[in-house]
């Protein structure tokens, strides 16, 4: 049974995403000949689905953790600052931390987390991201492994959301408010 959803334009279909994720798995295996020395850290919520898929292509038994990073945009006291929570028990001293991201946009999240893990004693921090939007970069961050470079689209699905919606979509689509409003008949899912 196919899922009922607004007809958003598909940017990257599921087969393309799964093929690229497998390719990234192979790239990581060749870049880190002893993957058991890696500490894999998934940046939630957005990276959860990509990370789960990526792990299927790496040896079983790797150490995987989750860390939450949230940005506060304009209009808040901490504009532009990325707050980190969770990940307290991660023992990264002298090890290589592999940050797993769904998308790198301004680069602030990666910049903040790289500093966080280097400050905690990691020997090295590397990044694997499914998507990168170079045109939006504000901080010049190194991205060791990436899946797709995309233009400045608002993308959702495969873990990415708009206000908590559509993370479950199996592919990556372009979010369009008008398409969504028409699909829901102008009545978005307003709580009763």
Residues that bind ligand PRP (CB under 6 A): 43, 45-46, 69-71, 101-109, 161
Question: Which one, 92 or 113, has the nearer CB to ligand PRP?
Answer: 113
Q: What size, in residues, is the chain?
A: 192
Give min distance, CB of 174 to ligand PRP, in A: 16
Give min distance, CB of 75 to ligand PRP, in A: 15
Residue tagged active-site, from 15, 34, 88, 105: 105
Burial class (CB in 10 A: 0-12, 13-18, 19+), 33: exposed
Looking at the DSSP bridge assignments, the partners of residue 145 are 128
151 is catalytic: no
Phi then psi for residue 87, to 5 deg, are: 70, 20
Q: How far is CA 20 from CA 95, 138, 163, in A?
A: 26, 26, 26
Question: Which one, 41 or 69, has the nearer CB to ligand PRP?
Answer: 69
Q: Are 109 and 137 in contact (CB under 8 A)?
A: no
Give min distance, CB of 115 to ligand PRP, in A: 13
What is the number of the residue whose Cβ is closest to ligand PRP? 46
Question: Which one, 95 or 114, has the nearer CB to ligand PRP?
Answer: 114
Query: Which of the residues are catalytic?
Result: 105
């Amino acid at each position: 049974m196919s899922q009922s959803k607004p007809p958003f334009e598909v940017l990257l279909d599921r087969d393309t995403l799964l093929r690229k994720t497998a390719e990234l798995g192979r790239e990581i295996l060749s870049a880190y000949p002893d993957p058991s020395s890696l500490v894999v850290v998934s940046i939630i919520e957005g990276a959860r689905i990509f990370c789960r898929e990526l792990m299927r292509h790496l040896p079983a038994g790797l150490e995987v953790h989750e860390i939450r990073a949230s940005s506060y945009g304009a209009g808040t006291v901490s504009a532009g600052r990325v707050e980190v929570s969770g990940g307290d028990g991660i023992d990264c001293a002298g090890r290589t931390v592999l940050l797993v991201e769904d998308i790198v946009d301004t680069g602030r999240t990666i910049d903040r987390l790289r500093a966080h893990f280097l400050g905690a004693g990691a020997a090295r921090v590397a990044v694997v991201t499914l998507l990168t939007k170079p045109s939006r970069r504000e901080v010049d961050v190194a991205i060791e492994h990436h899946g797709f470079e995309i233009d400045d689209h608002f993308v959702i699905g495969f873990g990415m959301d708009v206000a908590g919606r559509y993370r479950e979509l199996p592919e990556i689509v372009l979010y369009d408010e008008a398409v969504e409003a028409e699909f829901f008949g102008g009545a978005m899912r307003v709580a009763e």
